[in-house]
């Protein structure tokens, strides 16, 4: 508990002064609020009433303060004006309290969101391999929101309830001890009942949330699979199934209403009874001539002012658990370690010379994904990598981009050991196109220029043209302004790959990496892209990972990867004449031609 309080205190850093000021404003506002019913008490008991009961010192002092009984008797507008002034003061401080606590809470929430965003961006790739995206997003959004509510509302409400309860006590004691006790007698039961009730029905909330989850999932599945539903004519089956879940949800939802009905009516009863106790004791005392009416009015007003916030407090206290859980979940992520920085963090100008020397890499404790891999690429050279899936092709790219760090062997860029170079510098000097590229939900143009914001329009169009996506983009109504994603167009896999390729080309990297980046692109388009890339040969070091011979046969050198090891390497011509995977693939190509030739005795379509 203490550590959690400490964590909350830590969160408030930078805003503690504001919170302090908010508390001060809250104290002042509460004081003023209780002065409001005090004025009628002073006027009634000190001026209007000739009672047998001796007015309390509060009243005599008050009367004196307001100008004496005689003056007041003939100028009743004066106490009315005093009330107005007091309420305005109370209002001003209430406003200040609201303003200060809102500023503090929102400032903390903003800081937390930004810290989170920044932190998540800098977590290592390994972290994302193990974590569930949905859960992470939940922590970033609803957990942060829970904390914000806690800071902006819950803390404030609890503080308000405590102060509203404590501030009138000295005043009440000065006026009448018996009435004070009568006013407070049911406060503990109200708090305890509210707290205990909500604490006990937590389970039902959870059940209802789960039922809602099941119902939502049913709808989600039905709609995602609506084509299957229609294909098998299963509308009524689906409707019946949904009706069941819908019914369960309705029943649990109603149960919550019923529980709330009991909570509100019982706690209201307690609160009303508290007032009834005040009325009962007060009336008896008034009748006995021991309590002036003004004092009675004051107690009645005071009870009405604090009993409802106090009830609220019980409920909020029972919900604090949730906020603390959210806090824990958030801290958990913030304590994850970021990508490490090297001590040296060199940032030399890079030309694109790559050397792998005896590199071995494991994923966790499992089998090696790469084993003793050595090769090198000179600046401007094009290296192609081919191999069955699972042979470690993408791992080479991941290591090169420092998404993961290798365990043994050495990877060097322009002779610098990769781990001595700054991560962002390594990545900035490379451009990678992945098999399933990610596009940002902004315009196509922005997506292409995102790697180099200062690119000219012509350069963007040129990159798009090389990537064979320019014409497709022009065909959209809004051209390069067309939005990608939910709010815009849905692109096919091939189109996304080509946009990503344009994006990569535009950055003019020292090293261009195509990680099976043309898989979803049809053969004709692919040929055009390869040809365009050929014409840029020498401008950058290029790594191409591909499945089709046609994609990589023009590379300067070809690496055949099998089971994490380099099985063969050489030029197209060299590999053609050696027995191995590459030659087998080539033979298949040829046999395709043969098949056709055999069937038709005709043309060669290369």
Partner 1 sequence: MAELIVHEEDYRGELDLQLWKRIARHALPFKGSLVGLMVNGAVVATVDVLQPIVTAGLIDEATKGEAADRTRLILLGGAYLALIVLICISINLFIRQAGRVATGVAFDLRMKGFRRLQELSFSYFDVRPVGWLVARLTSDCSKVSSLMPWFLLDLVWGSCLITGIIAAMFWLDWRLALVVLCIVPPLVLATIFFKKRLLESSRMVRKTNSQITAGFNECITGVRTTKSLVREEANLEEFQELTNSMFLHSVRNALQSAVYLPIVISLGSIGLGLALWRGGIDVSAATGLTFGTLVAFMQYAGLLHMPIQELATRFTDLQAAQAAAERIQSLLDTEADIRDSDAVTARVAAAKPAPGDAIDGEPARIRDIEFRNVSFAYKENEPVITDLNLRIPAGTTVALVGATGGGKSTIVNLLSRFYEPTGGEILMNGVEYRERPLDWLHGSLGIVLQTPYLFSGTILENIRYGRLDATDAEVYAAAEIVNAHAFISRLPDGYSSEVGESGGLLSTGQRQLIALARAVLADPQIFIMDEATSSVDTETERLIQDGIDAALADRTAFVIAHRLSTIRSADVILVIDRGRIIERGNHESLMAKDGHYAQLYRKQFVSEREHAVLEGQPAQKEQ
CA distances to 204, 243, 307 from 252, in Å: 8, 14, 31
**Nearer Cβ to partner 1 (1/471):** 471
Q: Site for partner 1 (CB under 8 A): which residue of 65, 181, 196, 283?
A: 283
Q: Site for partner 1 (CB under 8 A): which residue of 8, 24, 92, 532?
A: 92
Verify binding: residue 606, partner 1, rule CB under 8 A. Answer: no
Q: Site for partner 1 (CB under 8 A): which residue of 6, 202, 206, 247?
A: 247
Q: Site for partner 1 (CB under 8 A): which residue of 196, 235, 325, 341?
A: 235
Verify binding: residue 454, partner 1, rule CB under 8 A. Answer: no
Spatial distance between the Cα atoms of 256 and 271, rounded to a whole number of angstroms: 22
Give the shortest CB-351-to-partner 1 separation in angstroms.
Answer: 18
Verify binding: residue 464, partner 1, rule CB under 8 A. Answer: no
Part of the chain binding partner 1 (CB under 8 A), chosen from 58-66, 192-200, 329-337, 541-549: 541-549
Q: Site for partner 1 (CB under 8 A): which residue of 4, 329, 537, 547?
A: 547
Give the shortest CB-413-to-partner 1 separation in angstroms.
Answer: 15
What residues numbered 583-602 form the site for partner 1, per CB under 8 A?
A: 584-585, 588-589, 591-593, 595-596, 599-600, 602
Verify binding: residue 475, partner 1, rule CB under 8 A. Answer: no
Q: Site for partner 1 (CB under 8 A): which residue of 95, 244, 345, 376?
A: 95
Verify binding: residue 365, partner 1, rule CB under 8 A. Answer: no
With CA atoms as reference, report the closest residue to 32 among 104, 95, 83, 81: 83
In our burial notation (b when 16+ CB lie closer than 10 A, e otherwise), range 442-472 reads: ebbbbbbbebbeebeeebbbbbbebbbbbeb
With CA atoms as reference, report the closest residue to 136 among 149, 146, 127, 147: 127
Contacts with partner 1 by CB under 8 A: the residue count is: 172
In our burial notation (b when 16+ CB lie closer than 10 A, e otherwise), range 57-69 reads: ebbeebbeebeee
Verify binding: residue 226, partner 1, rule CB under 8 A. Answer: yes
Answer whether 506's CB lies under 8 Å from 533's CB: no
Give, to the nearest 10 degrees, the angle between helix 293-334 and helix 155-166. Answer: 150
Q: Which residue has the tokens 């030029």?
A: 571
Answer whether 411's CB lies under 8 Å from 399's CB: yes
Verify binding: residue 220, partner 1, rule CB under 8 A. Answer: yes
Q: Site for partner 1 (CB under 8 A): which residue of 389, 415, 458, 577?
A: 389
What residues numbered 162-191 form the site for partner 1, per CB under 8 A?
A: none
Verify binding: residue 507, partner 1, rule CB under 8 A. Answer: yes
With CA atoms as reference, report the closest residue to 294 among 93, 27, 66: 66
Contacts 24+ apart (CB under 8 A), 3-11: 4/324, 4/327, 4/328, 7/327, 7/331, 8/327, 11/108, 11/112, 11/147, 11/151, 11/327
Q: Site for partner 1 (CB under 8 A): which residue of 202, 250, 358, 536?
A: 250
Verify binding: residue 256, partner 1, rule CB under 8 A. Answer: yes
Spatial distance between the Cα atoms of 163 and 356, rounded to a whole number of angstroms: 69
Answer whether 377's CB lies under 8 Å from 426's CB: no
Answer whether 373's CB lies under 8 Å from 357's CB: no
- Main-chain dihedrals φ then ψ at residue 407, nearest 5 degrees: -95, -45
**Nearer Cβ to partner 1 (5/137):** 137
String marking each residue 286-315 x if it binds partner 1 according to CB under 8 A: xx-x---x--xx--xx--x-----------
Give the ranges where 122-234 is alpha helix by DSSP (H): 125-130, 133-138, 144-149, 155-166, 168-175, 177-184, 187-200, 202-224, 226-231
Q: Site for partner 1 (CB under 8 A): which residue of 243, 328, 336, 357?
A: 243
**Nearer Cβ to partner 1 (317/483):** 483
Verify binding: residue 424, partner 1, rule CB under 8 A. Answer: yes
Verify binding: residue 64, partner 1, rule CB under 8 A. Answer: no
**Nearer Cβ to partner 1 (574/587):** 587
Distance of CA 392 to the CA centre of its chain: 33
Verify binding: residue 440, partner 1, rule CB under 8 A. Answer: yes
With CA atoms as reference, report the closest residue to 438 among 517, 510, 511, 506: 517
What residues numbered 96-125 form the site for partner 1, per CB under 8 A?
A: 97-99, 102-103, 106-107, 109-110, 113-114, 116-118, 120-123, 125
Q: Site for partner 1 (CB under 8 A): which residue of 11, 377, 430, 558?
A: 430
Give the shortest CB-16-to-partner 1 separation in angstroms.
Answer: 18
Q: Which residue has the tokens 């405590």?
A: 162
Give the shortest CB-575-to-partner 1 separation in angstroms.
Answer: 14
Verify binding: residue 65, partner 1, rule CB under 8 A. Answer: no
Verify binding: residue 407, partner 1, rule CB under 8 A. Answer: no
What residues numbered 29-48 form the site for partner 1, per CB under 8 A?
A: 36, 39-40, 43-44, 47-48
**Nearer Cβ to partner 1 (223/343):** 223
3-state secondary structure of 211: helix
Residues in the chain: 606
Q: Site for partner 1 (CB under 8 A): which residue of 84, 173, 325, 346?
A: 84
Verify binding: residue 242, partner 1, rule CB under 8 A. Answer: yes
Within 378-519, strands assigned E span 382-386, 408-413, 416-417, 430-433, 511-515
């Amino acid at each position: 508990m203490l550590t959690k309080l400490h964590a909350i205190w830590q969160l408030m850093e930078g805003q503690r002064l504001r919170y302090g000021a908010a508390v001060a404003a809250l104290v002042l506002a509460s004081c003023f609020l209780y002065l409001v019913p005090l004025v009628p008490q002073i006027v009634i008991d000190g001026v209007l009433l000739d009672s047998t009961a001796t007015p309390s010192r509060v009243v005599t002092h008050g009367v004196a303060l307001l100008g004496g009984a005689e003056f007041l008797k003939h100028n009743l507008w004066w106490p009315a004006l005093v009330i107005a002034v007091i309420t305005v003061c109370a209002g001003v401080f209430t406003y200040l309290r609201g303003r200060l606590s809102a500023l503090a809470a929102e400032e903390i929430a903003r800081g937390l969101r930004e810290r989170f965003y920044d932190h998540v961006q800098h977590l290592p790739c390994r972290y994302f391999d193990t974590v569930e995206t949905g859960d992470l997003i939940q922590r970033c959004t609803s957990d942060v929101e829970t904390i914000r509510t806690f800071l902006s509302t819950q803390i404030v409400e609890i503080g308000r309830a405590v102060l509203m309860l404590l501030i009138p006590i000295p005043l009440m004691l000065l006026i009448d001890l018996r009435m004070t006790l009568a006013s407070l007698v049911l406060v503990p039961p109200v708090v305890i009942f509210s707290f205990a009730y909500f604490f006990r029905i937590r389970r039902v909330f959870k059940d209802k949330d789960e039922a809602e989850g099941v119902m939502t999932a049913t709808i989600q599945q039905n709609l995602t699979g609506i084509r299957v539903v229609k294909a098998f004519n299963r509308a009524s089956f689906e409707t019946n199934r949904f009706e069941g879940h819908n019914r369960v949800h309705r029943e649990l939802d109603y149960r919550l209403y019923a529980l709330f009905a009991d909570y509100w009516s019982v706690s209201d009863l307690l609160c009303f009874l508290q007032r009834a106790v005040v009325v009962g004791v007060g009336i008896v005392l008034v009748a006995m001539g021991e309590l002036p009416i003004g004092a009675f009015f004051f107690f009645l007003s005071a009870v009405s002012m604090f009993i409802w916030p106090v009830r609220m407090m019980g409920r909020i206290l029972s919900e604090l658990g949730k906020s603390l859980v959210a806090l824990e979940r958030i801290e958990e992520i913030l304590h994850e370690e970021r990508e490490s920085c090297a001590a040296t963090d060199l940032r030399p100008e890079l030309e694109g010379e790559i050397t792998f020397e005896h590199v071995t890499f494991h994923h966790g404790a499992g089998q090696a994904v790469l084993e003793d891999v050595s090769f090198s690429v000179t600046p401007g050279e094009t290296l192609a990598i081919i191999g069955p899936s699972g042979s470690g092709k993408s791992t080479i790219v991941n290591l090169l981009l420092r998404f993961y760090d290798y365990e043994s062997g050495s990877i060097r860029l322009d002779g610098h050991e990769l781990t001595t170079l700054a991560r962002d510098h390594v990545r900035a000097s490379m451009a990678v196109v992945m098999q399933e590229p990610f596009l940002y939900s902004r315009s196509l143009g922005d997506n292409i220029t995102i790697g180099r914001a200062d690119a000219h329009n012509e350069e963007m169009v040129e990159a798009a043209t090389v990537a064979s996506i320019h014409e497709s983009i022009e065909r959209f109504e809004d051209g390069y302004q067309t939005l990608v994603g939910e709010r815009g167009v849905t692109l096919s896999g091939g189109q996304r790959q080509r946009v990503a390729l344009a994006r990569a080309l535009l950055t003019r990297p020292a090293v261009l990496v195509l990680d099976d980046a043309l898989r979803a692109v049809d053969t004709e388009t692919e040929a055009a892209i390869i040809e365009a890339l050929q014409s840029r040969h020498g401008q950058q070091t290029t790594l191409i990972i591909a499945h089709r011979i046609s994609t990589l046969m023009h590379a300067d050198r070809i690496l055949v990867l099998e089971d994490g090891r380099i099985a063969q390497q050489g030029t197209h011509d060299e590999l053609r004449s050696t027995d191995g995977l590459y030659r087998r693939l080539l033979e298949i190509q040829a046999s395709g031609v043969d098949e056709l030739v055999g069937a038709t005795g005709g043309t060669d379509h290369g």
